[in-house]
Structure 1
């Protein structure tokens, strides 16, 4: 392999007659004046001067090639392989043309490729096209993982990609981008498995109910299987966790109410005026309800009449309180705003938000567990606003207390992970969850709080947050606007951007600030599987088979069934099992079993007879 053509300090072309080049492989240029220069192949081509394209872009026809072979030219041996190499570090001078090129040894690239030991970093996959360098690799980096390719599990042959989790202190936050079916959620699962391995406290906002790690992947060899059941907890909003109303501040209340739909200035004013700190839900709700009922009466005279006409002391006392609220607040709390607050408050209560607290989450984080918070996207927007504010400021207060030499209860550093991140921090409008995520993205590094945000649409994610993501995992992406956003936010090259729509599922470009460049990797096979892994069409087929089997069991002791006796058979089935079949449906199910070969049908002049 030799350097050919015109060279620069950044890029050179290399040619070979024996060896083809692979994109993203690393090679060393032996420059006689500047020493060894390491570079990455960014473009690879082959060329054969005897097989040119004609003016229409078509290859020379077979008769031309046969003629050349007859004359004595060895067509295959005259193929030249050409690669364009970009140097990792700019050379002082243009590279010497004619310099030799060779494959580096592992020791020569170790410091470039591996920034952490397997025990202290996240073992996420392999660096593609490094198999030749991996031959002399240290034993601690071998047999760490499997990859899943072409429907089969493959043993690791390349250098592993190990993310240095400690580097997040200088280069915080991770973005995971990729379209549907690109391997994005799969990659996120692998990252979370590695965080559990290191017992790093993590909160996962899971709108798809898929981040469950209790089921081990059946494809993983038995000796390599790992059990994560003690390392994570799935908690559903309204069932396991919620918000303790008495702990809410005015701002918390407004954030929660605003998550249902934005609050007007008048509604915000109602909360500021009527809410008192450490007030119970019932106390605040009753105050609003009584004020609204007094406003519905419309005047003090009508309220006084209700007091005078009260049939009991309790009723009289209630209308007396309504009168006081009306006098104090009617002018400054418009009726429509009060009703709006009542509607939002009732909706949150009905969803179980106020029935629990966040204690299980705090306890799980203190134990170094991964806590998966599950709920619909809207409920997660509501709940995460309160949760992240609460936990982030606990961690911040602890760190500030250390700085000031005062005492504060310990709260551990933690990572916040969410899929569909553009729903929580969108560009263009301000849901309550966006402000806390933006604050963590800008200041969280100082306090040991980090973000891992996954989205199919990086263009829709808030630009301030996107700019703070120092490491980006970029899976297959098709939309031009998203590719443009990725090009603007990373050091991905034009050639790599062109490849984005065609990446295989699980292949990923990793733009890591601590490395200072983009590498091409493949995510390892996950140790666990998603609860949604079953193909829906297989599910449909299995359900039909199961239903047929159950129906056969029900009618088995009633066979043969005559066509004129359906009504009696159906009544008998209803009496025995409680299941009711309309006559037409019952006959259709019998006909269906005949079509599938599970029953036989005998036709007579008067009716059909169904038998085994």
Structure 2
């Protein structure tokens, strides 16, 4: 391998007759005057005499051709492999043309690949195209993971990619971007496994009900027991909002998430809500006011003056009169709008629990997965994130002022479909607290891991604060443009984004200082959604057929004319409610598929076991 063509301080061209260059392959240039600079392959090209087109464009220009001929390459006969190599550090002067090029040893590039060890960092995958230095990788960095390539599970070959999560104190927050099927959710699962391994408390919002770690893969052997390091809670069943702890502003946010509020509705909440109100006291006040407004002051006064009512009725109409005197100016439609939104949240179970289970899990260093519908997660996240962040912030502020305070641990907030929680261009319940954490959370030990298919739709303030970005396959042009603006991906890497394999990712991080190409390791756990839906359909159809054949067993052989006589018994045995024509259609289908056989006799048509 040799340097050919015109060189600059930033990049060179390298040629070889025997070695086919790979993208992101690392090379050392034997230029002692420049202390053997190192670089990475960013573009590759192969040429032979049978395909002579394109030699005047792109990677290969006239200067490269002349250099190749000068150093002994036969342009007309040889297979020539070329690569554009971008230097990791700018050289003081251009590289010497003709300089020899070789693959590095691990010790020469260790500082470019690793900033921490596997004990303190997140082992997320393998740095691509580092298998050339496999022999010089130290034992402590070998055998850390299994990889999944071309449908097969393989052992680790190259250098592990270990993300230094401790450096997030200086360069906080992670963004995970990628289109559907790119491996984004898979990569997020691997990150969560590493958080559990390191016992870092995390709060995960799971709109897809997929963050369960009970199913194990072959890669789990010898790894930590995740079952004791995470817990799953559902909104309305296990956790909810303590209504009496809410401020008026909190209630506005929650009701606004159930359905947008007009200014008049906001005024209703501010007027009717009292400090320490329970859900029951507040909803009763709203309901009583609606009834009083519907009846009107004149009718209520008449009922009170007429007499002949029980003590309870007198108290009830007295309450109506008092409410009208205080709040009679409020528009009935706005009060009813508040009641509808309040009822919707209560029906979802939001006000029937509290967040003690989440607080306990965070204190125990666990990963707490909160599951629920997207709209409900949006509502709940604003409350729970605000509460936990406030506790962490209060503890840190008290420590700085040398005051006693109850310890609350640092924690990580993780969410998929992040653009639903902090959208660009319009408000959302949790957006304000998430923006605050994005800008100031580093000081208090609260960090974000945001995954989204559409980075363009994510709030720009938050996107700008994501110091580490994991970019999986992305096809949409606007998203690619956003990613280019927010990372140091080169033009060549940007062009590759739509064609990345599932599980391949560009990691652009201020912690590393450059973009790295990584393949995510095989996860230790499986997602409940890994089965192909068409395989699922096939399995269910086969299971249904088995159930029907088993139900028919006691009746076979059976004449076609006897279906009517045995209809009730057949339906009971098979747990169906079919009529005669449906049973005959099903019997014919099973015969066509060879699962039953049909025989015609002089007296009847018989169905029997195949």
The equivalent residue for 1:206 is: 206
Partner Cα distance (1:56, 1:174) in 2: 42
The equivalent residue for 1:39 is: 39
- For structure 2, the 5+ residue unaligned runs are 58-72
- For structure 1, the 5+ residue unaligned runs are 58-72
Partner Cα distance (1:225, 1:586) in 2: 53
Q: How does 1:541-552 map to 2 (within 5 A)?
A: 541-552=538-549
1:409 CA drift (Å):
1.2
Change (3 A) 1:54 1:355: closer
The equivalent residue for 2:442 is: 445
The equivalent residue for 1:402 is: 399
Partner Cα distance (2:215, 2:263) in 1: 48
Is the aligned partner of 1:316 residue 2:307?
Answer: no
Moved more, 592-601 or 107-116: 592-601
The equivalent residue for 2:86 is: 86
Is the aligned partner of 1:3 residue 2:17?
Answer: no
What are the Cα deviations for residues 276-325 of structure 1, in whole angstroms up to 9, with x where unaligned?
A: 11111110011111111111123x21221233456321111111111111
Moved more, 169-178 or 593-602: 593-602
Partner Cα distance (1:77, 1:187) in 2: 45
1:593 CA drift (Å):
1.6
1:580 CA drift (Å):
2.7
Change (3 A) 1:292 1:547: same
The answer (yes or no) to whether the contact 1:50–1:75 under 8 Å persists in 2 is: no
1:250 CA drift (Å):
1.1
Partner Cα distance (1:49, 1:601) in 2: 67
Partner Cα distance (2:195, 2:303) in 1: 63
The equivalent residue for 1:239 is: 237
The answer (yes or no) to whether the contact 1:201–1:366 under 8 Å persists in 2 is: yes
The answer (yes or no) to whether the contact 1:216–1:225 under 8 Å persists in 2 is: no
Is the aligned partner of 1:188 residue 2:185?
Answer: no
The equivalent residue for 2:457 is: 460
The equivalent residue for 2:378 is: 381
The equivalent residue for 2:251 is: 253
The answer (yes or no) to whether the contact 1:214–1:227 under 8 Å persists in 2 is: no
What are the Cα deviations for residues 142-165 of structure 1, in whole angstroms up to 9, with x where unaligned?
A: 010011011100111100000001
What are the Cα deviations for residues 44-103 of structure 1, in whole angstroms up to 9, with x where unaligned?
A: 11234675228999xxxxxxxxxxxxxxx9889612222111111111122222222221
> What secondary structure does 1:161 align onto?
strand
What are the Cα deviations for residues 482-522 of structure 1, in whole angstroms up to 9, with x where unaligned?
A: 11111110000000111111111111110011111100010
Change (3 A) 1:76 1:244: farther
Q: Structure 1: which 4+ aligned runs deviate by more than 6 Å?
A: 54-57, 73-77
Partner Cα distance (2:225, 2:383) in 1: 32
> What secondary structure does 2:30 align onto?
strand
> What secondary structure does 1:234 align onto?
strand
Moved more, 249-258 or 15-24: 15-24
Partner Cα distance (1:202, 1:56) in 2: 55
Moved more, 565-574 or 47-56: 47-56
> What secondary structure does 1:279 align onto?
coil
1:572 CA drift (Å):
2.2
Change (3 A) 1:567 1:491: same
The number of residue pairs the alignment matches comes to 593
The answer (yes or no) to whether the contact 1:511–1:517 under 8 Å persists in 2 is: yes
The answer (yes or no) to whether the contact 1:205–1:380 under 8 Å persists in 2 is: yes
Normalising by structure 1, we get a TM-score of 0.94
Partner Cα distance (1:248, 1:312) in 2: 36
Normalising by structure 2, we get a TM-score of 0.94
The answer (yes or no) to whether the contact 2:49–2:75 under 8 Å persists in 1 is: no
The equivalent residue for 1:104 is: 104
Partner Cα distance (1:553, 1:390) in 2: 56
Change (3 A) 1:557 1:75: farther
> What secondary structure does 1:541 align onto?
helix
Change (3 A) 1:576 1:484: closer
Change (3 A) 1:600 1:175: same
The equivalent residue for 1:60 is: none
> What secondary structure does 2:304 align onto?
helix
Q: How does 1:112-261 map to 2 (within 5 A)?
A: 112-217=112-217, 219-220=218-219, 223-224=221-222, 226-261=224-259
Moved more, 597-606 or 263-272: 597-606
Partner Cα distance (1:81, 1:577) in 2: 67
1:19 CA drift (Å):
2.2
What are the Cα deviations for residues 449-495 of structure 1, in whole angstroms up to 9, with x where unaligned?
A: 00001111111111111111111111111111111111110000000
1:20 CA drift (Å):
2.4
Change (3 A) 1:575 1:125: closer
